[in-house]
Structure 1
Amino acid sequence: MFNLAEQDLEKLGAVHTASEIDQQPHVWRKMLTTLAEQKDTHQRFIQQLKEKHAHVRVIFTGAGTSAFAGDTLTPELNQSTTESTFRFESIATTDIVSNPYAYLKAHVPTVLVSFARSGNSPESVAAVNVTESIIDDFYQVVITCNSEGQLAVNTKGDDKSLLILTPPEAHDKSFAMTSSFTTMMVTAYSLFSETETEAVIEQSIKQAEQLLDVVGDYVDVVLEQSYERMVFLGSGLLGQLAHEGALKVLELTAGKVAATYETSLGFRHGPKSILNDQSLVVMFMSQDSYTRQYDRDLLNELANDNSGIKIAVVDYQHDDWVSERADFVIHLDVEKGPEVNDFSLALVYIIFPQVLAMKNSLKLSITPDNPSPSGLVNRVVQGVTIYPIN
């Protein structure tokens, strides 16, 4: 797996991280089956909202990687949804809990969609309680990997709540969220999107399976050099995905590699200052012909800066122009069609930084399954005091 034998993964403390990255397309397919079986229940929940309210605010929420799931998904749903009932937003639980009145409007019907691996994070539980206490017409969807978590348990007997459980495998045992992140996005996309989501996800499954076969080779070549800093870039929802890419590196290298993210256009406005000759820039290329122009412009600029950086591009198909400018190209073989969009690519693109982070962790003699054995950072956040709202 990723050019490492299973016994070596066990010995190096990476077996859970590696297997959870590798299992993603399998888990997505299982999730599609579950969603098909529960389709009538889900449609009734959505339909009752449309019948009762002309306009509904849908807030995706979570903390850390769970928040980035909503950040990545929101642009696609707002772009592809023609029906006017729902307006999608992404607001982290950490913002809702600390500043509830800055984000919540009591008179606006609201569905809080919680993404949660464990469902036990203090802010996740508090965000629901705070939102329910403020919003007059409150509904919730809990998308979680843990049937025994507090979020899941709290939905029981509540007809204004919808609980959707991922397959058990998505309840990652490793420190970093990988299959939980992508599977929860698949779930929410399938619930709210008006497009033929099964065809979109099946396309992602096919591409992910192909990338997983070769991504170890790509990463090994990239990591022949050592890096002090990594920067992840993209446009639109891929710019949000870049946040997750950066976090994976930061988490799994225990902060030994400084990792950050930006949008392709935003990078010039100060954040570019982070680059030095020990930097790797990872660019997620959009398949949208208009948006792609801005990605290409920045790639061209970085390639001609003579700053000593290395550039790795993750792209949906082979592009000679890109290959001439990037040091490394990780390309899929996707034929454009209605089932291909930047969200479908995001599910696949994230595999590269997941594996990059894991193998860089091993290179630094860190155990990816538990990169913070001192407890400085915990798998489920601890030490948070929740205060009563006024």
Structure 2
Amino acid sequence: MSNIQGQLTYTEISAQSAALQAAWDQLQKQSDWVKRYIGNDQYEEVVFIGSGSSYYQSITMAATFRKWTGRSASAQPSSDIFLLRDATLPRGKKLLIVGVSRSGESHEVLLALDSVKNEDHIDTCGITCHETSKMFGMTECLLSPLGKEKSTVMSKSLSSMTFMMQAAIAMAAGGEAYLQELKTVLELDEELVKASDSSIKEWVSAHNFNKTVYLGLGALGGLALEACLKLKEMTYTWTEAYGTLEFRHGPKSIVDSGTLVCFLLSQSAREYELKVARELKEYGATILLLTAERGEDTDFADLVLELGGAALSDEARSVLYLPAVQYNGYYNAVKRGLNPDDPRNLTQFVKI
């Protein structure tokens, strides 16, 4: 990669496979964290909190926790914890709040954790990429050691923290099945990052859209929101994200011939999601499918990126969707002559 605008972002997107492996290795050293916190069934609900991208990955973390453990979990914007706690958290329950912050310095996460420190029924912990951060000092955190980034926009940090928390949840769930699924993700990720790079670069070079919509369900719904944010942050273009079937209830009115609709396609709801995709194709949209496997049922789409891992749960496959959507933001920014390393109005963490 030559020394051009966006070099940091490109390098960090491309390095996420190593960041995932480092997160996996680090978790083996922090397995006691799992027993004390998310694996501890004294907690009646686990609440994942974050801001921006960290909130979106919290949605994926919470969905994974509910599915794999069968226990109660939710995701909340960190600001709602200290500003609107009574409208956000259940009363009379023993709660665990998990702060999610790349930098460990996000003021809203810190304020949220500080606001509950004297509550007997609430304990806290966290996940971050920085062991010298304020959050790491105020509560016990998992650490993604290669998640650290110089670029403003989150990429490998988000992938590695999402993967690390899912591995922790797999440990909490007991049994080896989900851990084996995540080992498969590690095996797939490096080649998938390279394939996503070349495919999306070629795709962006050949296409222009006035609107982009990302759709996903369950754990992939949080990542659809994150995909939307990546494009918005790097290109300043208006994008939207919805639950796949929810998009049919009004929002589909925006679809025209200049609209790209990208599906983070699940296996569990594949039949229904593809019905939506075909409907939107009839309205003139260009359809991009990110899917575990292509088939005759996907032949109608304009581009199908096969991720692999068809036998995996949708939750375990989550991070495999991220390289393509991150590169889509990057290459669209470069095409517009913008610098994705330094998006306007943005900083690595937000002060309040």
Please give the range of the TM-score, normalised by the shorter of the 2 chains: over 0.9
CA distance in 2, matches of 1:332, 1:100: 39
Name the aligned partner's letter for residue 66 of structure 1. Answer: S
Query: Whole-Å Cα distance in 2 between the matches of residues 342 and 47 of structure 1?
Result: 21
Q: CA deviation at 1:138?
A: 2.2
Cross-structure match for 2:293: 317
> In the TM superposition, what is the alpha-carbon distance from 1:106 to its structure 2 partner?
5.0
Match of 1:287 in 2: 267
Q: Partner of 2:33 in structure 1?
A: 42
1:326 aligns with 2:301: yes
Which residue number corresponds to residue 199 of structure 1? 180
Letter in 1 for 2:244: S
Residue 200 (structure 2) pairs with residue 219 (structure 1)? yes
Distance 1:48 1:81 in 2: 9
Q: TM-score normalized by structure 1?
A: 0.84
Pair member with larger Rg: 1
- SS of 1:173's equivalent? coil
Corresponding residue number in structure 1 for 2:85: 100
CA drift at 1:30:
1.3
Instruction: Name the counterpart of 2:148.
Output: 171
- Offset, 1:287: 1.4
Aligned residue among 103, 123, 127 for 1:139:
123
- Alignment-mate amino acid for residue 60 of structure 1: F
Indicate the percent of aligned positions where both proteins have the same amino acid: 24
Alignment match, 2:113: 128
Report the Cα distance in structure 2 between the residues aligned to 1:270 and 1:132, rounded to whole angstroms. Answer: 42
Q: CA deviation at 1:140?
A: 1.3
The within-5 A match list for 1:1-390 is 6-7=1-2, 10-11=3-4, 13-39=5-31, 41-46=32-37, 49-50=40-41, 53=42, 55-82=43-70, 86-133=71-118, 135-155=119-139, 162-167=140-145, 169-193=146-170, 194=173, 195-196=175-176, 197-223=178-204, 224-253=206-235, 255=236, 257-288=237-268, 291-305=269-283, 307=284, 309-323=285-299, 325-336=300-311, 340-372=312-344, 376-382=345-351, 384=352
> 1:276 and 1:301 mapped to 2: Cα distance?
12
Does the CA contact (< 8 Å) of 1:32 and 1:198 recur in 2? no
Q: Which structure 2 segments of 5+ residues have no match?
A: none
Query: Is the 1:100–1:130 Cα contact (8 Å) retained in structure 2?
Result: no
Q: Retained in 2: the 8 A contact 1:318–1:333? A: no
Letter in 1 for 2:242: E
Residue 338 of structure 2 aligns with an amino acid whose one-letter code is: I
**Cα distance, 1:220 vs. partner?**
2.7
User: What's the C-alpha RMSD, in Å, of the aligned pairs?
Assistant: 1.8
Kindly provide the amino acid, as one letter, of the partner of residue 198 in structure 1: L
1:235-290 CA-to-partner distances (Å, cap 9, x unmatched) read: 2221221100000000011x2x21110111100111112223221110111111xx
CA distance in 2, matches of 1:98, 1:346: 31
Q: CA 1:63–1:46 in structure 2 vs 1: closer, same or farther (change >3 Å)?
A: closer
Q: Secondary structure at the match of 2:117?
A: helix
Shift of 1:49: 3.9
Looking at structure 2, the residues matched to 43 and 321 of structure 1 have their Cα atoms a distance apart, in angstroms, of 40
Conserved in 1, the CA contact under 8 Å of 2:47 and 2:62?
no
Gaps of 5+ in 1: 1-5, 156-161, 385-390
CA distance in 1, matches of 2:46, 2:38: 14
Following the alignment from structure 1 to structure 2, what is the Cα–Cα distance between the partners of residues 333 and 184?
A: 21
Aligned to 1:158: none
Query: Match for 1:45: what amino acid?
Result: R
71-80 vs 356-365, greater mean Cα deviation? 71-80
Mean alpha-carbon deviation: is it higher for 279-288 or for 207-216?
A: 207-216
- 2:166 and 2:316 in contact (8 A); partners too: no
